[in-house]
Amino acid sequence: MAVARLLPVTRGQIHLNGVDPLSLRGETLRNERHHMQFIFQDPYSSLNPRLRAEKIVREPLDRLSIGSVNRRDDRVRELFDQVGLRHDQQRLFPHQFSGGQRQRIGIARAIASNPSLVICDEPVSALDVGVQAQILNLLRRLQDELGLTYVFISHDLGVIQHMCDTIAVMYMGKIVEEADRESLFNTPKHPYTQALLSAVPSADINRRNRDDAS
């Protein structure tokens, strides 16, 4: 939240593409927000129930004055294609979609302004397991195609292992360990990280033996 200046920062620094968002004000901050977008946890409450899907996806383009009117219409159709939704679904309201489809709308809205950073706040925790996999694979594909950077927030270590290259573990509001994915899952250093990993069921006999020995 602080990265996008939605919450105040009490201490520390933020650097994004060589820019310090904490120093920005007014129109400069508004312009910088082109590059920062959110995907929220609940795909239903994060969408305006009174707006049709096409309007929800188009809203960032209108608010940030991106492209001409005709180009925005074309962009909405492109975004529906990118997230796996049909063009005939553009006129539907959020309640007419499934949970996974609603999250696809949220993803389309997030990438509409061509951001470089997308903050994913528990983006699959409200979805069924089968749908979670579809959305995670979609996010991975979009990351590869669009060159996106994700700040991915989750309590699910399986999801973290699938999605993240560098991982920071927080305890009591503070980062207690930061490492690349392989190092953190194979050789966790902090006791809290070790406790988190040991609590995850595993079919790996060697890992279970290591946990029992410790």
pLDDT at 48: 95
> Domain 21-164 has what CATH class?
alpha beta
User: Which tens digits make up the pLDDT trace of 52-106?
Assistant: 999 999 999 999 889 999 999 999 999 999 999 999 999 999 999 999 999 999 9
Per domain, the residue ranges of the chain are: 21-164
Distance CA 105, CA 80 (A): 8
pLDDT at 203: 47
Stated pTM of the model? 0.87
CA dihedral of 32, 38, 44, 45, whole degrees rounded to 10: -70
Mean pLDDT in residue range 178-207? 84
User: What is the band of 9 on the pLDDT scale with cuts at 50, 70, 90?
Assistant: confident
Mean pLDDT in residue range 121-149? 95
Position of tokens 């200046």? 5
User: Which tens digits make up the pLDDT trace of 68-81?
Assistant: 999 999 999 999 99
Arithmetic mean of pLDDT over the chain? 89
